[in-house]
Structure 1
Amino acid sequence: MNDASAPRSGLFPFAETASAWLSQLSTVSPIMVELETAVGAVIAAPASSARAIPAEDLAALDGWAMKSSDLVTASAYAPAMLTSLPSFVAVGDAMPDTCDCVVEQKFVSIEGPLAEVRISAAPSDGVLRAGDDVADGALLFRAGDLIGDTMVGLGLALGLTHLSIRRPDVLVIDVTDEKERGPSTAVVCALIREAGGQVMLDRASRSVDSLTARLKAAEADLVVTIGATGGGKDDVAADALRQAGALAAHRLAIRPGTTTALGRVGKMSVIALPGRTPDAFAIALVLLLPALRRLTGTKEPESRSLTLKRKIASQIGFAELALFERAGSACDPIAVGHLPLSALARCDAWALVEAASEGFASGSAIDAWALGG
C-alpha cells in the first residue's frame, strides 16, 4: 500500500477508505490447542463428539434395577411379586444387561426371596441411556463461535480435549499522555478480547522516532496505536506510520474519530485510533471490530430494525455514529456524531448514518446493532 494523497477536502471518504483497508486483511491460520487454553478464542472448525456419552446405560437414581415388562400392572393395590431379587444400583452404576428401568426404594419391599413392587415402570424410567448426553459424532461446537469458560467446562465434560481455534495477535501501542494504561486503551483492549483477539500491550512516547521504532519492531496480525493522531506538534502517529511503512489515509470523513489513520507496515495492517475515549470507541466499532472479524473468519452480527422515537439529523459528507437506548422494537437516539461519555455508558445499540444521508425522520426504521449483549 503506497502513501495516499489526501482529497481536496482534506478528508478521506469513510466507506471507500475503510473497505480498501479491510480488504487487505486475511483470516489467520487455525491452531490446535488444549481446550483449557482456548477461552476467548474463535472456534476455527466444528468440534464433534468422538464417542457416545454415556457409553452404556447408567442408573439415573438410587434404587432397584428391574425389567419394566414385569411391572406393567403393578400398583399399591395390586403389587407385582418378583421371585428373583432385583439388583440395587446407585446413580452412575452400569445397568444390568436384562434391566431397563430403576424403581425407587420406597416402592419396593424385600421379604426373603421375594420382592414386592408397588408401582409400574416404563422402559428407561430412572435410566440414563447410552448417548443421552451426546451421541457419537454429534456436533458440540460450531465454527465461528467465541469460546467461553462455560463452553470449556461443557467440552471437558463431553470428553473434548483439544480444539481448533483462531486467535489473532493484536499489538496495541499506547501513545496517550497517560502514565499508566488510560481509559481509551482499556476500552479498546476489552473490545479486542471480546472479539477473539490476543492483546499484546506496548507503550511509545509521543515522538516520531519512538513510535516508528515500535512499529518497525512489531510482530502481530494487526497493530493498533492509540493517541497522537491529531494535528498538534506532538501528534506523531501519522508521521510514524509513514516512516515505518505506508500511510494509506489520515483524517476520515467520520464523526467521531475524524483523525484516525490507516496504513501498513510490511504485511501488517495498522490502525491509529484517536486518544479520546469516545473517538477510539467509535472507530473500534466501525473499523477495528470488522478487522477482527476478517482475521478470525467470523460473520458480521445481524442488525435489527428499530423505530426511531425522535429524528436524527446528520451532516451530508460525514458518516456519523449514532447511539440509542432501546425500548422493545423502538429506540431513542441519545447521541449522534458527538458522543459524551454518559451516552457511552447508557447506550445499548448503535448505527452508522452514511455520509450521503441527512438523517432519519421520527417514526422511521433504522438498522441498528446491539451493544452489551
Structure 2
Amino acid sequence: MPESAVSGSAERRSVAEHAEAVRSMLAGLPAAKGSERLPLMAALGRALAVDVVAPGHLPPFANSQMDGYAVRSADLPDGGARLRVAAPIPAGIAPPELLPGTAAPIMTGAMMPRGADAVVPIERAVPDRFPEPGADAVVELPATPAGSYVRPAGSDIAAGALAFAAGTTLGPGQLGLLAALGITEVDVRRPLQVLLVTTGDEVVEPGTELPPGKIHDANGTLLEAAMLQAGLLVTRSAISSDDPAVLRGLLRGRSAGTELIVTTGGVSKGAYEVVRQAMAEEPVQFLSVAMQPGGPQGIGTFDGVPFLGFPGNPVSCLVSFEMFLRPALSAVLGTPAPRPAPRARLTESLSSPAGKHQVRRASLLPDGRVRLEGGPGSHLVHALASANALVHVPADVTELEAGAEVEVWML
C-alpha cells in the first residue's frame, strides 16, 4: 500500500478541511474542459466560459417610464403652462421631433422624441386623460424638471460594459438580459463527465427480486439524480461486487472522457471494504471526516483521474455530495449555483455528537420554522425523501432547544 494511503487511513479532518481538499483537487478542471457554443435556452443552468460584454445600450434609446406627456422642460416654468397637444407616440415607432410649446402623448416604453427631455405622468395633467385622436387640444401641465420619468439610453447597462464574468451560472434572469441585448448564443463550459459506481455484494438493481440479505441500490439513483441536477454528465457502471479486481476492471473500462470517478460504499474500516482494497496501489487517502452522517471518505486519483469515495448508506452518500462535491463544483466551475442558505428556528430540540458536524434532514415550513424529518440515522431514505432542506449543527454544539436558530441549506 502506498504511503499516501497509509497516512490517510489514520487522518481525521474537519468538514471545512475536507471541503477545501475536494475543491483543490478539482481546481484544474476548468482549463481542461474547454467550451461549447449553445443557443440561450440550451445554456440554462450552465456556466459561461468567457466574459460577455454588452454589444449595445440597454435600453437602446431614451424612453418613457410612464404613460403621460413628453415635454421640453423649458416650456414648463415654475407655475406650469398650457401646451398644444402634438401627435401621440405609441411604443415601437421613431417619433418626429417635439416642437417648442407642444406636449406629445407618450406611452410607457415609447421612444422619447428629439427635443423632449421629460415626461409628465397623465395623472398630473389637466385634463387627466388623453384627447381623442385628431382633436385640436391643449393640456395644462405642472413644472417638471429635465429627466423626469425618462429612462436614458444605457441606463440599465451601457454598450461595452461587462454584462457577465466567465463562470457566471446562467439562470432565467441572466438569459433574459442576454436576450434583451440581442445575443442568441453563448460560450459555456462543457459539463463535467463523471463515472458513478455503486459497490457491494449485498446490492442489486431495482426491479430485480431480493434474495435474503440483499438490498436494492438506492445510491446510484440518488447520486445520479443529484449530479444531473447539478449539470454533470453521468455514466453509471454496473454494480461492482466486493472483488477488488472486478472494481478495478470497471474503473479501467471507463470512457476516455471521464474527468471524475465517484464510488459509493467500501470506504470504511471493515473487512470487506472493496474500494479501499481496489485503491491499495493508488494515491488515495481514506480518512474520517468529523461529520454525521458521512464520516468515512476517500479522496485521491485513480490512473490520474480525480477520485472521490463516498460512504455506502444512502443518506451518507447524498450528504457527502451536498457537503463536498456540489460546493466544489460551484466554486471551481461556476455551476451549479450554491444552495440557498437561510437561517430558521427549530420546531423541536435535538442532540448532536460532540466534535462532529451533524447534518439533519428537515423541512422548512411556510412560517419560517424548520422541522426535523426522521432521526440522524444514515439509512433513513424515507425521511430524506420527505425533506426539502438540510440543517447544520456545528461540531462544537451538542444540544439545541426548540426555537434555536440554525443554518439551513435548501434542497
Q: Is this a same-fold pair by TM over 0.5?
A: yes
Partner of 2:12: 13
Partner of 1:191: 226
Deviation (angstroms), 1:264: 0.8
Alpha-carbon contact 1:14-1:319 (below 8 Å) kept: no
- Distance in 2 (CA, whole Å) between partners of 1:213 and 1:227 is 17
Match of 1:131 among 154, 161, 164: 154
Partner of 1:80: 83
Partner of 2:115: 98
AA paired with 2:24? Answer: S
Partner of 1:25: 26
- Distance in 1 (CA, whole Å) between partners of 2:341 and 2:372 is 16
**How does 1:255-270 map onto structure 2 within 5 Å?**
255-258=292-295, 260-270=297-307
Partner of 2:318: 281
Partner of 1:291: 328
3-state SS of paired residue (1:188): helix
Partner of 1:314: 353
- Distance in 1 (CA, whole Å) between partners of 2:48 and 2:268 is 38
AA paired with 1:287? Answer: F
- Distance in 2 (CA, whole Å) between partners of 1:252 and 1:98 is 69
For residues 3-45 of structure 1, what are the alpha-carbon distances to aligned partners after superposition, in whole Å with 9 as ceiling and x for unaligned? Answer: 51278xx765243666545533314227473462432223466
- Distance in 1 (CA, whole Å) between partners of 2:317 and 2:206 is 18
Match of 2:192 among 165, 169, 185: 169
**TM-score, structure 2 normalization:** 0.66
In 2 relative to 1, CA 273–119 (structure 1 residues): closer, same or farther, beyond 3 Å?
same
**How does 1:134-213 map onto structure 2 within 5 Å?**
134-141=157-164, 145-161=168-184, 163=186, 165-166=188-189, 168-175=191-198, 177-178=204-205, 183-195=218-230, 197-207=231-241, 208-213=244-249
3-state SS of paired residue (2:6): coil
Alpha-carbon contact 1:228-1:235 (below 8 Å) kept: yes
3-state SS of paired residue (2:392): strand
In 2 relative to 1, CA 31–248 (structure 1 residues): closer, same or farther, beyond 3 Å?
same
In 2 relative to 1, CA 353–6 (structure 1 residues): closer, same or farther, beyond 3 Å?
farther
In 2 relative to 1, CA 302–44 (structure 1 residues): closer, same or farther, beyond 3 Å?
farther
- Distance in 2 (CA, whole Å) between partners of 1:342 and 1:185 is 16
Alpha-carbon contact 2:286-2:296 (below 8 Å) kept: no
Match of 1:247 among 284, 287, 295: 284
Match of 1:336 among 376, 388, 411: 376
In 2 relative to 1, CA 106–297 (structure 1 residues): closer, same or farther, beyond 3 Å?
closer
Partner of 2:276: 238
AA paired with 1:117? Answer: V
- Distance in 2 (CA, whole Å) between partners of 1:365 and 1:79 is 64
Alpha-carbon contact 2:64-2:119 (below 8 Å) kept: yes
Deviation (angstroms), 1:236: 3.5
Deviates more, 1:18-27 or 1:267-276: 18-27
3-state SS of paired residue (1:42): coil
For residues 59-94 of structure 1, what are the alpha-carbon distances to aligned partners after superposition, in whole Å with 9 as ceiling and x for unaligned? Answer: 67889865455566999xx95346xxx344321222
AA paired with 1:291? Answer: A
Deviation (angstroms), 1:270: 0.9
Between the aligned residues of both structures, percent identity stands at 23
Deviation (angstroms), 1:314: 0.9
**How does 1:36-115 map onto structure 2 within 5 Å?**
36=40, 37-43=42-48, 47-58=52-63, 67=72, 69-70=74-75, 80-81=83-84, 86-94=86-94, 95-100=112-117, 106-108=129-131, 114-115=136-137
In 2 relative to 1, CA 164–182 (structure 1 residues): closer, same or farther, beyond 3 Å?
farther
- Distance in 2 (CA, whole Å) between partners of 1:99 and 1:109 is 22
Partner of 1:348: 389
- Distance in 2 (CA, whole Å) between partners of 1:81 and 1:313 is 77
Total equivalences in the alignment: 359
The RMSD of aligned alpha carbons is 4.5
In 2 relative to 1, CA 102–178 (structure 1 residues): closer, same or farther, beyond 3 Å?
same
**TM-score, structure 1 normalization:** 0.72
Partner of 2:138: 116
Alpha-carbon contact 1:57-1:130 (below 8 Å) kept: yes
Q: Unaligned 5+ residue runs, structure 2? A: 95-111, 123-127, 208-215
Deviates more, 1:19-28 or 1:99-108: 99-108
AA paired with 2:381? Answer: L
